[in-house]
Amino acid sequence: MEFSKLWLDYRKLADNRSRVIISCDKTLKDSAAFEELKIAMASMVPDAIVLWKSEVFDDDSCLIVLTIRPELSEEEYDIAASANITEICAGSETGLLYGVFAFLRKIALAGRFISFTAHKKPSQPIRMLNHWDEADGDIERGYSGKSFFFVNEELEVNERTVMYARLMASIGINGVVINNVNVRRKAKLLLSIEFAESLTNLGELFARYGIKLFICPDFAAPKTICGLDTADPLDENVIEWWNTTCALIFSKIKNLGGFLVKADSEGEPGPMAYGRTHADGANMLARAVKPYGGIVIWRCFVYNCTQDWRDKKTDRACASYDNFIGLDGQFDDNVYLQAKNGPVDFQIREPVHPLFGAMKNTNLIIEFQLAQEYTGQQKHVCWLIPMFKEIMEHHTRHDLPDDRVSRIVCGVAAVANTGDSYCWTGSELAAANLYGYGRLLFDEDVSCTELAEEWTRLMFGDDEKVTSAVKEILLDSKQAYEDYTVPLGIGWMCHPNDHYGPSPWGYEFDRWGTYNRADRDAVGVDRSASGSGYSEQYAPALADVYGDITKCPDELLLFFHRVPYTHRLHSGKTVIQHIYDTHFEGYAKAEHFAELWHGLEGKIDDRTFKNGCERFAEQLRCAKEWRDIINCFFHRLSGIDDENGREIY
């Protein structure tokens, strides 16, 4: 299948050269950094001949020198560029590759060779993508087509996976999990000999681009693959099986980084079935991968998914913290706990997960979701980077030298939003999420405005109208989505199962622990100390804010409190008026985005333009449903009219 080169579709530069000389040690001639420069120069300066070292150098030449400098750390690079001579130094071949991509981005944006200096090392050491791909080619919560890793139940290495590795390296991703956390059907055999060769090939490709390969193993593999009658992590035969299996696969797949495990969650097997703890399970695997430098990433998304909606005492928001806090300090040093950004499940607005800062003696990774499961499924434009940035910069108020999430975690993961669609992400604009995510983890200081502009210009060129329209759409899209879907942090008013479109009581009488408890008098969930007590999971200073109705920020009010519709927000509006206003405003913003997009006809390529038109038509249809159904729902319950007399059906 055809695919786009996204932001690596190098355009011709304005200045021409007759010669580009890439000077480097002979050992670097086969490196990905060298190759990328050659690919880029062929498009950017098509008339130039590209040489490796050369005696001839004149005004018309451009010299690029690549050097490994051991005093720099592995992923760190240093660039000194002038119009004619550029020196890129780095601590390793991967660092060089990052330096090369940074250089190419800079000249692509400038449209010519320019003078600049840059010195960077990544803000986050672990920068991962988690693909939820199934061995049969489906993608759980995938909105961009089928898997390009698994084709006909085989793992593929082909032109597309090479392009994928280049794209990921260009934004600094250094770890990729290729299969779904729910390990189903043939994926249960990923650890068996059947997949060894293709995993080795994919691992080699990834290694060339500085990406470690990870897989989600089946925790019950000793039963499913080996035929033992238990997967108890403390059972000697089970331990022996994992040790032998890891010795085998790590010796074959040199670039294997380790495992990502979803255990005892939503029906996945885990240690608790045997009366063991998450620490028992994670440490057993960690010891099996340790001799090979492997790590185990263990998810904290654990809760009771068979709750009775009548049970008002159990609160799903509390579950993740309750399941893990007591285990702090019990995990081996090559175990990383991966907690979602919020306590429930990737809603557009949730408080930050309370484990960050609370688990002081455990390695933590934060998990975001690029796949827009709850945020418009890549039909609605919803650029999530401002939200990610806000969460990374959030002060947990724990007693720490630096209490921000970005300083507490050792890494970041995100559920990927790619598939085999031409533009990789179903919607052309959704690729901005992927791009922004990687760039932000590498360079936390870059602003959202810069990222939006950078991505737009790399993708669509320098037309001012295009840049300003796409930038505006991206930067305002998340707030618009929040406005017409989820007022004041309540969440979960979507259709059950597929999670698309409005259904305010869709989850109200279900088993998933996701209730809004709306009735004629009030709405919201009391999670204060006198309610479920969830607010108490935060550091005292923050617990005090969240738990107190007078201090709780408006955007989280209904997440933490149950209030009458006439309750006045800090903004001065009542809750019900806020609901009406934001739903009308959110829809109006979506209309404005569509207009901006339509104004770009002829200025961006047809394929992209049509893709956007289709998506905006669907966004408008659906946003209207959200606006009218949510407004109507609360109007009927509360009996309170809109102050502005707008039509509520």
For the residues of 358-399, what is the DSSP string, one character each?
A: T-TTSEEEEEEE-S-TTTTTTTS----HHHHHHHHT-B---S
Cβ distance to ligand GCU smaller for residue 142 or 489: 142
**Could you confirm whether 229 is annotated as catalytic?**
no
| Alpha helices per DSSP H over 51-192 | 93-110, 159-170
Query: What is the rounded CA–CA span in Å between residue 641 and residue 639?
Result: 7
Residue 532 one-letter amino acid: S
Quick count: other Cβ atoms within 10 Å of Cβ 9?
Answer: 12
Q: Is 301 in the site for ligand GCU (CB under 6 A)?
A: yes
Site for ligand GCU in 327-356 (CB under 6 A): 345
- Stated as kind and residue range, the H or E segment containing 41 is helix 32-44
**Could you confirm whether 373 is annotated as catalytic?**
yes
Minimum CB separation of residue 175 from ligand GCU in Å reads 17
| Alpha helices per DSSP H over 495-566 | 540-547, 557-560
Cβ distance to ligand GCU smaller for residue 268 or 581: 268
Cβ distance to ligand GCU smaller for residue 301 or 356: 301
Catalytically annotated residue among 76, 78, 264, 373: 373
Which residues, at least 6 apart from 501, have a Cβ–Cβ distance to it below 8 Å? 494, 495, 622, 625, 626
Query: What is the rounded CA–CA span in Å between residue 239 and residue 251?
Result: 18
Count CA within 13 A, CB hemisphere, residue 221: 24
Query: What is the rounded CA–CA span in Å between residue 72 and residue 70?
Result: 5
Quick count: other Cβ atoms within 10 Å of Cβ 83?
Answer: 14
Minimum CB separation of residue 235 from ligand GCU in Å reads 26
Q: Considering only residues 262, 353, 380, 627, which one is a binding residue for ligand GCU as defined by CB under 6 A?
A: 262
Minimum CB separation of residue 38 from ligand GCU in Å reads 40
Is residue 564 packed enough to be buried (19+ CB in 10 Å), middle (13-18) or exposed (0-12)?
middle
Long-range contacts of 303-312 (CB under 8 A, 24+ apart): 303/265, 303/513, 304/513, 305/266, 305/267, 305/511, 305/512, 305/513, 306/511, 307/511, 307/512, 307/513, 308/511, 309/508, 309/509, 309/510, 309/511, 309/515
Minimum CB separation of residue 482 from ligand GCU in Å reads 19
Nearest to 413 by CA among 127, 123, 210: 127
Q: Is 143 in the site for ligand GCU (CB under 6 A)?
A: no
**Could you confirm whether 87 is annotated as catalytic?**
no
The residue count for binding ligand GCU (CB under 6 A) is: 9
Minimum CB separation of residue 149 from ligand GCU in Å reads 18
Site for ligand GCU in 85-114 (CB under 6 A): none
Residue 79's DSSP bridge partners are 88, 118
Catalytically annotated residue among 345, 367, 428, 581: 345
- Stated as kind and residue range, the H or E segment containing 62 is strand 61-68
Look up residue 256 and give its two tokens. 């294997």
Cβ distance to ligand GCU smaller for residue 106 or 184: 184
> Which one-letter DSSP state was computed for residue 493?
-
Site for ligand GCU in 356-395 (CB under 6 A): 373
Cβ distance to ligand GCU smaller for residue 141 or 379: 141
Cβ distance to ligand GCU smaller for residue 267 or 540: 267
Q: Considering only residues 18, 182, 224, 243, which one is a binding residue for ligand GCU as defined by CB under 6 A?
A: 182
Cβ distance to ligand GCU smaller for residue 182 or 330: 182
For the residues of 255-300, what is the DSSP string, one character each?
A: TEEEEEE--SSTT---GGGGT--HHHHHHHHHHHHGGGT-EEEEE-
Count CA within 13 A, CB hemisphere, residue 67: 13
> Which one-letter DSSP state was computed for residue 176?
E
Q: Is 140 in the site for ligand GCU (CB under 6 A)?
A: yes
Is 152:386 a contact under the CB 8 Å cutoff? Answer: no
Minimum CB separation of residue 415 from ligand GCU in Å reads 7
What are φ and ψ of residue 564, in 5° steps? -70, 160
Catalytically annotated residue among 30, 154, 197, 266: 266
Minimum CB separation of residue 262 from ligand GCU in Å reads 5
Which residues, at least 6 apart from 103, have a Cβ–Cβ distance to it below 8 Å? 64, 79, 81, 86, 88
Minimum CB separation of residue 574 from ligand GCU in Å reads 33
Count CA within 13 A, CB hemisphere, residue 508: 14
Cβ distance to ligand GCU smaller for residue 180 or 277: 180
Residue 535 one-letter amino acid: S
Q: Is 625 in the site for ligand GCU (CB under 6 A)?
A: no
Residue 228 one-letter amino acid: L
Cβ distance to ligand GCU smaller for residue 110 or 305: 305
What are φ and ψ of residue 321, in 5° steps? -60, -50
Q: Is 141 in the site for ligand GCU (CB under 6 A)?
A: yes
Cβ distance to ligand GCU smaller for residue 6 or 416: 416
> Which one-letter DSSP state was computed for residue 130?
E
Is 420:471 a contact under the CB 8 Å cutoff? Answer: no
Nearest to 126 by CA among 212, 255, 216: 212
Residue 86's DSSP bridge partners are 64, 81
First to last CA, the chain: 46
Cβ distance to ligand GCU smaller for residue 345 or 476: 345
Cβ distance to ligand GCU smaller for residue 301 or 580: 301
Query: What is the rounded CA–CA span in Å between residue 156 and residue 324?
Result: 37
Residues classed as catalytic:
266, 345, 373
Contacts with ligand GCU by CB under 6 A lie at 140-141, 181-182, 262, 266, 301, 345, 373
